[in-house]
Amino acid sequence: MPFINVIRGEAIPTAPFNVRTPVVRLPVWLVMFWSAVKGLAWMVIGYFRFWWITLPSSGLLWMYAAFDWQGPTFTVLGVAVAATIWNLGNRASFLRFGWYPILARFRRWTYRRHWQAAMVTAKLSVSYDGQTVLPVLQRVRCRPGTDLVLVRMVTGQIPDDFGHVSERLAHTFGVRQVKAMPGPTFSTVLLAVLRGDPLVKLVPPFPVTGVPDFMALPVARQEDGEVFDLRLFGTQVLVVGATGAGKGSVIWSIVRALAGGVGTGLVRLWGLDPKGGMELGIGLPLFDRFASKDFAAQADLLEAAAAETQRRAARLMGRTRQHVPSLGEPLIVLVIDELANLTAYLTDRHLKDRIKAALGIVLTQGRAVGVHVVACLQDPRKEVLPARGLFPTRIALRLSESNEVDLVLGDGMRDRGALCDRISETAPGVGYVALDGDPTPMRVRFSYLTDDEIRDMADIYGRVQVIDGDAA
């Protein structure tokens, strides 16, 4: 039985209270007048809200009224010529201040059209008290191949909620990929919507600098078009990728960035190529020491590196935090192709223990004293490389399984956009890296050196070297 009965037609006598809503009779002209006022207000609001389309259109209309068809035609032509000259004269400023703001307006409008459907199907809308609350699309900015969409989250949401459904969002918006990262305020999330792919093309080798900048070695192209600089000082580098993923190109990109220093003696490369010298052998003259077929020789080389690390550490103890390479005490970079051959797949227990101990010393103490490791690996599982955590810098190329991504790059990185298992086999050298101070991974493609380019580089910068074991 209803407690209060609102009477719109007949009274229900069983309700204790009966309330009758007043019936107001309006004349037809008043209703029409009110509708007209409302319509006009909407038009004025719409005019100012979409000023970027309404203002130019009314300008053109006014031109037409004042000067006939010549008015709008010459205006459009004038703007097109000015834009072309600006574009040719200074493309960067044209894109930034001319083209991208217009594009962003247009894109914002397209996102708004799909917004509700996208939020509801991705389960990012929240139903509360019979009402549906949607995250708010706040701002859209365009960058080369990328839109940055700022979204105010519904209370209780976190950026990772968007990260989990990023793939769904990408398909809804019809784009290649969506990456979610924390926005400038705690209540916002920034969605990087990636459209085109600048990494389809091969990346040619970067020019060699006389003195390498060990804080920023140019080795790859980022998907936003910038150059990815690898920091070598203070770190150890692990490169993981399935077979054919392009680990070789990572090695040679790094070696090339160091080649100037190899030529002057500031950098010494020690090569370990357990696959019999197949990868590193082409650039043999670049290596100061080299071991490939003989595992005992490779263990010796690692022990020599460990001994040098400990000698330097003892000398520098208490004096400095970061070793500065010099001709007397150069930067030593151990380049290891397929580390698992030295750690997991080696059957000789004694050798395996020697290698493990020496590697442990270099990895834990080497980075402060100028002894660095750049190691490649196919399989990132713990059984294969227990010391994975000792490599602060990790590069993930194409991987065979999605759960390997977080093993290499760290927890949650796949959700944040590192789709290493989705990298095409036709795109070797493409991978994901973590940038300093950025929680989201960056997709990059490493430069590719042909065998001839490697040989040329070795001819120019190579030095007379000691060959350990039987490589020669």
Ligand X SMILES: Nc1ncnc2c1ncn2[C@@H]1O[C@H](COP(=O)(O)OP(=O)(O)OP(=O)(O)O)[C@@H](O)[C@H]1O
How many residues bind ligand X (CB under 6 A)? The answer is: 15
Q: Which residues are annotated as a binding site for ATP?
A: 241-248
The two three-digit tokens of residue 237, written as one number: 């580098």
Which stretch in 236-244, 255-263, 315-323, 451-459 sits in contact with ligand X by CB under 6 A? 236-244
Rounded Cα gap, residues 434 and 416, in angstroms: 11
The two three-digit tokens of residue 386, written as one number: 């227990």
Return the residue of 248, 261, 274, 330 that touches ligand X, per CB under 6 A.
248
Nearer to ligand X, 107 or 445 (CB): 445
Return the residue of 163, 246, 248, 271 that touches Mg ion, per CB under 5 A.
248
Q: Which residues are annotated as a binding site?
A: 241-248
Return the residue of 105, 368, 448, 453 that touches ligand X, per CB under 6 A.
448
Query: How far apart are CB 404 and Mg ion at their closest, in Å?
Result: 17
Q: Which residue is nearest to ligand X (CB)?
A: 429
Return the residue of 243, 320, 402, 403 that touches ligand X, per CB under 6 A.
243
Which stretch in 259-267, 310-318, 327-335, 441-449 sits in contact with ligand X by CB under 6 A? 441-449
Which 391-430 positions form the footprint of ligand X (CB under 6 A)? 428-429
Query: How far apart are CB 216 and ligand X at their closest, in Å?
Result: 19
Nearer to Mg ion, 140 or 239 (CB): 239
Contact of residue 448 among ligand X, Mg ion, none (CB under 5-8 Å per partner type): ligand X
Q: Minimal CA–CA distance to 271: which of 468, 457, 417? A: 468
DSSP tag of 120: H
Nearer to ligand X, 107 or 247 (CB): 247
How many residues bind Mg ion (CB under 5 A)? The answer is: 3
Residue 363, SS3 per DSSP: helix
Return the residue of 244, 276, 386, 389 that touches ligand X, per CB under 6 A.
244
Residue 112, SS3 per DSSP: helix
**Cβ–Cβ under 8 Å, residues 221 and 378:** no
Contact of residue 357 among Mg ion, ligand X, none (CB under 5-8 Å per partner type): none
Q: Judging by beta carbons within 10 Å of its beta carbon (0-12, 13-18, 19+), is residue 155 exposed, middle or buried?
A: exposed
Phi, psi of 358 (to 5 degrees): -65, -45
Nearer to ligand X, 101 or 244 (CB): 244
Residues in contact with 196: Cβ distance below 8 Å, sequence separation at least 6, in sequence order: 145, 176
Tell me the CA distances in angstroms from 169 to 53, 115, 133, 449, one per residue in order: 28, 10, 18, 37
Which stretch in 71-79, 88-96, 237-245, 433-441 sits in contact with ligand X by CB under 6 A? 237-245
**Cβ–Cβ under 8 Å, residues 237 and 374:** yes
Return the residue of 247, 268, 312, 416 that touches ligand X, per CB under 6 A.
247
Residues in contact with 118: Cβ distance below 8 Å, sequence separation at least 6, in sequence order: 124, 169, 172, 173
Which 180-209 positions form the footprint of ligand X (CB under 6 A)? 202
Rounded Cα gap, residues 286 and 254, in angstroms: 12
Contact of residue 166 among Mg ion, ligand X, none (CB under 5-8 Å per partner type): none
Rounded Cα gap, residues 147 and 133, in angstroms: 24
Contact of residue 446 among ligand X, Mg ion, none (CB under 5-8 Å per partner type): ligand X
Q: Minimal CA–CA distance to 373: which of 234, 211, 173, 194? A: 234
- Determine if 341 is a binding residue for ligand X (CB under 6 A): no
Q: Is the C-alpha dihedral spanning 312, 318, 322, 323 positive or negative?
A: negative
In degrees to the nearest 10, what's the CA dihedral of 125, 130, 131, 132?
A: 20
Tell me the CA distances in angstroms from 191 to 12, 173, 184, 185, 360, one per residue in order: 55, 12, 12, 14, 40
Nearer to ligand X, 246 or 283 (CB): 246
Site residues (vs ligand X, CB under 6 A) = 202, 241, 243-249, 378, 428-429, 445-446, 448
Interacting residue ranges for Mg ion, rule: CB under 5 A: 247-248, 279
